[in-house]
Chains A and B, each alone.
Chain A
Amino acid sequence: MSRNKILIVDDELNVCSFLSDFLDYKGFESTITQSGMGALKKLKFEDFDLVLLDLMMPEMSGFEVFEKINQMDNKVPVIILTGVRDQNVANDLIEMGAVDFISKPIDLDRLEQSIIMNIKYLK
């Protein structure tokens, strides 16, 4: 049985590798990228079951990346991971189509449950 594929987008390598280890342990297959452009390229050529997207990134922000993902034909669920704890920002992103908004520091259990639920629901 193939594992669900998750794309992790965060400019901090430490965050990417930590989340990647965590997701691999939990039975997912993860791919990491540290830029918005990199994320869009990967999404163009590969299929993913879910994207974990950081909002605050240099060059192309998470907002821009999210808008571009929304415009793609093959829609993929996006969970926003961010240090921003603004409920208005969270509401806006959910309205725009993000499946969840998880603030840092992360509750790993909540992250796992959200991933499982959203992958199941969307399938």
Chain B
Amino acid sequence: MEMIKWLLPNQNILKENINLFDDLEKFLKKSQGLSVKYEHLNNQSPAVEQIAKAAEVISLVSNYEAIYLESFYEFTPLFKLKLTDLSGLVVVDKNSRFTRLMDLIGQKIVLPQNTDWQLINPVVLFLMKKCRIVNTQANKDFPVVLEPMELLYVINKKAKAAVTTSFDLNLLPNKERKNLKIIGEFPVLPEYVVVAGPEFKEQNIAKIKTDIDRWISKRTDQLYKSGLEITSIDIEHNSLLLEAIEGLGYTLRKFIEKHNDLLISSIAVNQQKDLEEMEEKYKRLKNFNEKLVKMYQGVRDSRDRLTRDIDSSNDNTILFLKDGTILGCSRQFCMKLKYSRQDMIGKEITRFIETGINTPFKALIHQIDIGLVRSFFVKLKFSDGTEEEAKMEFSIIELLDSKIIFGVISKNNK
């Protein structure tokens, strides 16, 4: 039986803990007549150098090392192991002239505050070094809970680009998503890639890949439960990473060498405890994400229903967030103010309504929120510049973990 050598990044941990490779070994033995011999990389030279020299091996490497081995040593990536199905996205306005990462040099961009992003991620490193970061924490009144915050900054033209996740983008309603353009996708967290050395090309690599695809399809559920995901290789992810690495002034080899220790420790997992913790962490993250998606969908559905009801109401009604952003208003109300609904939705309420007393509208929103005030006279500001006094009643609508304010004109003029 023919023997293949499998290089493992460090101790015999992955084999013992996931049983993934044991399983793959059995499968390859059965389908290809191959037996597997495991060997560990030593600490004497960079991992990528040792793997590159051993042309007949299969090995688990970081996605950066995989690109390098593929480009310069004719290795073939077989499949990818991911800890999360989240993708990072660089997003710009649909009509903007930006099409590449390089176009964003010197521009205002929004980065999520989560530190997990900065785990040796060249795209994030590039943006941090080459762009102007907008501090989203400064605006505490921004509706963080209801909307994917960093995307709103782009929609509202407060930043030229935002880094977000596929998860956040999916939370946006279609009509808002249509206003955005994705200029690149990249993995949020480091990914593992199983690569085969150039010798394997001679052994009908296509056959091995087909068998591995069959093997993957049978194990998707099992891996999903353990918080891991096996996927095929996607070139799109790599192009943005390579552009970022180049933009940082590195060659791929230099980038791997510079970050080798961190890449190996964060990606190859050299401690059993680390692996268990990472698995546990991402299992929890995955479950949390799923719950969050359902919750957000619930919030959005109920908010959308409410907005539709408000829009079709025969009364002069308006629905807005605590920061004053108008979510919906009845046709009647738009007609009264002589604006189109498009002119009003998404805009600041104080453009259309001001209080009839010395307390500013936003301060009154706070008083409505804490339950002190429910009704007062307002000045309605018409599109032709005229004003009219009206009495409005306000109430708070609680939606799971956020609040919306509903206003209705109860009396025209004093």
Q: Which residues of A contact B (CB under 8 A)?
A: 14-15, 18, 21-22, 24-26, 83, 104-110
Q: Does A105 lie within 8 Å of B358, measured CB to CB?
A: no
Q: Give B391's nearest chain A residue, CB to CB.
A: A109
Q: Does A108 lie within 8 Å of B371, measured CB to CB?
A: no
Q: Does A109 lie within 8 Å of B377, measured CB to CB?
A: yes
Choice from B372, B377, B391 contacting A105 with Cβ under 8 Å: B372
User: Closest Cβ of chain B: how far from A35's Cβ, in Å?
Assistant: 19
The answer to whether B357 has its CB under 8 Å from any CB of chain A is: yes
Query: 9 A-B Cβ contacts within 8 A?
Result: A14-B370, A18-B367, A18-B372, A22-B358, A104-B372, A105-B371, A105-B374, A105-B375, A108-B376
The answer to whether B293 has its CB under 8 Å from any CB of chain A is: no
A93 CA to B358 CA, complexed, in Å: 32
Q: Does A106 lie within 8 Å of B358, measured CB to CB?
A: no
Set of chain B residues within 8 Å of A104, measured between Cβ atoms: 371-372
Q: A14-B370, A109-B391 are in contact. Are A22 and B375 (CB under 8 A)?
A: no
Interface size bracket, B side = 10 to 19
Set of chain A residues within 8 Å of B358, measured between Cβ atoms: 21-22, 24-25
Choice from B359, B371, B375 contacting A21 with Cβ under 8 Å: B359
Q: A18-B359, A22-B357 are in contact. Are A110 and B372 (CB under 8 A)?
A: no
The answer to whether B373 has its CB under 8 Å from any CB of chain A is: yes
Q: Does A107 lie within 8 Å of B374, measured CB to CB?
A: yes
User: Closest Cβ of chain B: how far from A113's Cβ, in Å?
Assistant: 10
The answer to whether B105 has its CB under 8 Å from any CB of chain A is: no
Interface residues in B353-376 by Cβ distance below 8 A to A read: 357-359, 367-368, 370-376
User: Closest Cβ of chain B: how far from A105's Cβ, in Å?
Assistant: 3
Q: Give A108's nearest chain B residue, CB to CB.
A: B376
Set of chain A residues within 8 Å of B359, measured between Cβ atoms: 18, 21-22, 25
User: Closest Cβ of chain B: how far from A17's Cβ, in Å?
Assistant: 10
Q: Give A81's nearest chain B residue, CB to CB.
A: B372
Set of chain A residues within 8 Å of B372, measured between Cβ atoms: 14-15, 18, 104-106
Q: Does B375 lie within 8 Å of A107, measured CB to CB?
A: yes
Set of chain A residues within 8 Å of B393, measured between Cβ atoms: 107
Set of chain B residues within 8 Å of A109, measured between Cβ atoms: 375-377, 391
Q: Give A106's nearest chain B residue, CB to CB.
A: B373
Set of chain B residues within 8 Å of A108, measured between Cβ atoms: 357, 373, 375-377
Set of chain B residues within 8 Å of A26, measured between Cβ atoms: 357
Set of chain A residues within 8 Å of B374, measured between Cβ atoms: 105-107
A85 CA to B295 CA, complexed, in Å: 33
Set of chain A residues within 8 Å of B371, measured between Cβ atoms: 83, 104-105
